[in-house]
Structures are given as structure tokens and as C-alpha cells.
Amino acid sequence: MIETMDGQGQTRSVPGDLRTQELSQGVFAFIQADGSWGWSNAGLVTDAGDALLIDTFFTLPQTRRLLAAVSDAAPQARVTTVVNSHLNGDHCHGNQLVEEARTITSACAASEVEHELPPATYQWLQSHPPEGVAGRYMTRHFGGFDFSGIELSPPTMTFSGRLSLQVGRITVSLMELGPAHTDGDVAVHIPDAGVVFCGDLLFQGDHPVVWSGPLLGWADACDALLATEATTFVPGHGAVVGRAEVARFAQYLRDLHGQASASAYAGLSLEEAAARVSLDAYGDLGLPERVVTAVAAVYRERGLPAPATPLELLGPVARFAEAHSQS
């Protein structure tokens, strides 16, 4: 892990630094620092020369680094299967670089692809950012990515519910647990290793971003992760954790749902409700502006008007971030 010094003399990970972590025989996690917008994780299961890759990355340069790390971790293995935990770009834009592999996701996730921001839109926004606070936020978090050359590679196979696969002698269980972060989230469980790759069903280090919900359904999905009896959980973003962190994340979602529901009943606007959320118990988490996306999900659940798409949410998220940084 590469580290540098910030202005206060504290060490921090360089965004995009890629670390390989062996979790069990033939099971690897690839962790991108600092885990924030666009810096997701991936996984590998390999045995007897076969390999299954869990997610690709946001851009082609990022994914090439991932595939180099995969080759270093398992030089004799050939990736024959890619499982996309969902189809947000930071988990699938690199699929084209593993073109000989079959690509699997849930049928529900595959049906959502038309609602995802295409790479060309990211490129256009880099050169034509919105005015004001939204543009500043977009540039700060997405301006450094290279979205050139990406050709979306849709899944070649879908499933619903559960799907069992074999990678050599290793059994891999795919679990559809959405709607939560998105409508079709997939977790990948390796029972003999006691490992679950959670995709964005689990965030660590930062507040989660909520594109779908409901939050209580997402909390139930965390309970399903724990019900596997696994001891090691790889989040979509952030550090590898154990059972206690998954339980804490489920409680966070339930707490946030309760606070946002109270604000909805009180007739507060979306931004008023987000500003009222108490973050005291979660002061260790970054990107607090993402609570706006969670409150919006609760408001939509209650039948109240609220933004739903990434571009609609950008303005309120950015305004919250700027206000929070000045408070």
C-alpha cells in the first residue's frame, strides 16, 4: 500500500493504489484506495487453472491494473467467468478486457442497464461540468478518471435468486439480494473459505450511496450476508471486514431509515431532512453528503417527490457537501 502525508502530517492512502489480499487458498480481494467515488474493489476465485473474477473497474486503465494483479496472484489461471455484482460503471466498465469470459449478473441488474450513465456521458460532463457547486463536486470526484475507449459489454448470462458455480474444486454461490443499493445486487459466497464478496451491498469507510432502496430491505440483505455464517466480507468499497462491521452497517441503514421517515412525516423537504440526520454515531465515515441519496430513497418509498437519477441527485448532494464542509 502506497502512503503519503497530508497537510496535517497524517498518512493516507493514495487514491487508486491497488492492494492484493489473499483471503483463503485461491481466494483473493483487490482493494482500491481510497474506496470513494469510482474506486471499487474486486475479487478472484481460482483453482485448477480456472478463475472467476468478481467485478471489473470504472475505467480501462484501472481494469488493466486489476488484470495485471490477477495475473500476479494466479499466473497459471485463466479467467473464464466474470460476475458483476451490479452494473454501476465502477463495477463493470472494464468487462470488455475479459472478452473471452462469460459474464453473469442477476436478471434484474441486467434490466437496469438502460438507467446507468454511459461512459460517453461521463466524458462529456468532464469537459462540460454543470455550473456552480454541482460542477465543482463533479470535477473534484470524477475529473481525474479516463473514460476513453470503454465499450459496454452486457452480461451473457443472467439468473434470479441463487446460482451455484464450480471453479475447479471450489463451490461458489451467487446470491441475488436486491433491491438494496440497486434493484439487482448480487453477492458472491465461497462457503468453504467463509468469504463473501458483497459488492455495494456493503460500504466501509464512507457513507453508502443509495440508488434504489428500500433501506430496510438493504438491512435485511445484510442480515442475509450474516446468515451465510461467513467470517470475512469484502465490501464494494473500503477495507475487508468481519461480521461486526456488517452488523453495524445494517444498524446504520435502519437508523437512517427511522430518521428520514420521521422527517417525511413532519413534512420537511428532502434537503431539510438530510441536514437534520444525526451523524454523531457515524462520525468516522466519509462522504456524509451521500445521506441525501438515502433520504431521497425513503421519500420515494413514502410516495413523496424526490430525485432518483444520479444527475438529479448531483445538485442536492453537492450542496450538502459544501454546507457540511463549512460547518
Query: What is the CB-side half-sphere exposure of residue 101 using CA atoms within 13 A?
Result: 24
Mapping DSSP to helix (H, G, I), strand (E, B) and coil, where does residue 170 land?
strand
Query: What is the CB-side half-sphere exposure of residue 213 using CA atoms within 13 A?
Result: 24
More confident residue, 176 or 9: 176
Residue 8: per-residue pLDDT: 37
Residue 112: per-residue pLDDT: 86
Walk me through the domains of the chain, giving residue ranges and CATH numbers: 12-326 (3.60.15.10)
Res. 303: pLDDT tops 50: yes
Per-residue pLDDT tens over the stretch 313-327: 999 999 999 998 765
Residue 114: per-residue pLDDT: 77
| Region 214-231 average pLDDT | 98
In order, the DSSP letters of 12-59 are EEPTT-EEEEEEETTEEEEEESS-STT---EEEEEETTEEEEE---SS
| Region 162-185 average pLDDT | 97
Per-residue pLDDT tens over the stretch 9-39: 333 455 669 999 999 999 999 999 989 999 9
Mapping DSSP to helix (H, G, I), strand (E, B) and coil, where does residue 91 land?
helix
Cα 268 from chain centroid (whole Å): 29
In angstroms, rounded to a whole number, what is the distance separating the alpha carbons of residues 234 and 54? 11
Instruction: For the chain, give the percent of residues with pLDDT over 70.
Output: 94
Q: CA torsion 176→177→183→187, rounded to 10°?
A: -60
Give how far Cα 288 sits from Cα of 79, 296, 320, Å: 37, 14, 8
Q: What is the biggest distance separating any 2 CA atoms in the chain, rounded to whole angstroms?
A: 60
Contacts of 116 (CB under 8 A, 6+ apart): 87, 88, 89
HEC profile for 179-230?
A: CCCCCCCEEEEEHHHCEEEEEEEEECCECCCCCCCCHHHHHHHHHHHHHCCC
Average pLDDT, the chain: 93
In order, the DSSP letters of 265-318 are HTT--HHHHHHH---GGGTT-B-GGGHHHHHHHHHHHTT-----SHHHHHHHHH
Residue 15: per-residue pLDDT: 61
Do the Cβ atoms of 17 and 1 come closer than 8 Å?
Answer: yes
- DSSP code of 116? S
Res. 266: pLDDT tops 80: yes
Residue 153: pLDDT band with limits 50, 70, 90? very high
In angstroms, rounded to a whole number, what is the distance separating the alpha carbons of residues 29 and 23? 7
Count the neighbouring beta carbons within 10 Å of the beta carbon of residue 70: 22
Among 129, 126, 137, 109, residue whose Cα is nearest residue 37 = 137
Instruction: For the chain, give the percent of residues with pLDDT over 90.
Output: 88
Per-residue pLDDT tens over the stretch 89-120: 999 999 999 989 999 999 999 998 877 889 99
pTM exceeding the 0.85 threshold for the entire prediction: yes
